[in-house]
Amino acid sequence: MEPIVVGIDGSAGSVAALRWALAEAHLRGAPLRLVHAYQLPHFLAGEVGVGLGTPGVPAYAGEDVERLREASEQAARSVLAGALEQADRDATPGIEVEQEIFEGPAAQVLIETAQGAALLVLGSRGRGGFAGLLLGSVSQQCAQHPPCPVVILPPVEEKEPGRG
For 113-117, what is the mean pLDDT?
97
Computed on alpha carbons and rounded to an integer, the radius of gyration of the chain in Å comes to 17
In this predicted structure, what is the pLDDT of residue 159?
56
pTM: 0.80
CB-count exposure of residue 12 (10 Å: 0-12, 13-18, 19+) = middle
In this predicted structure, what is the pLDDT of residue 50?
47
Residues 125-142: tens digit of each pLDDT: 655 555 555 567 899 999
Look at residue 32 and tell me whether its pLDDT is greater than 70: yes
Residues 35-89: tens digit of each pLDDT: 999 998 765 444 444 444 455 545 566 677 888 899 999 999 999 999 999 998 7
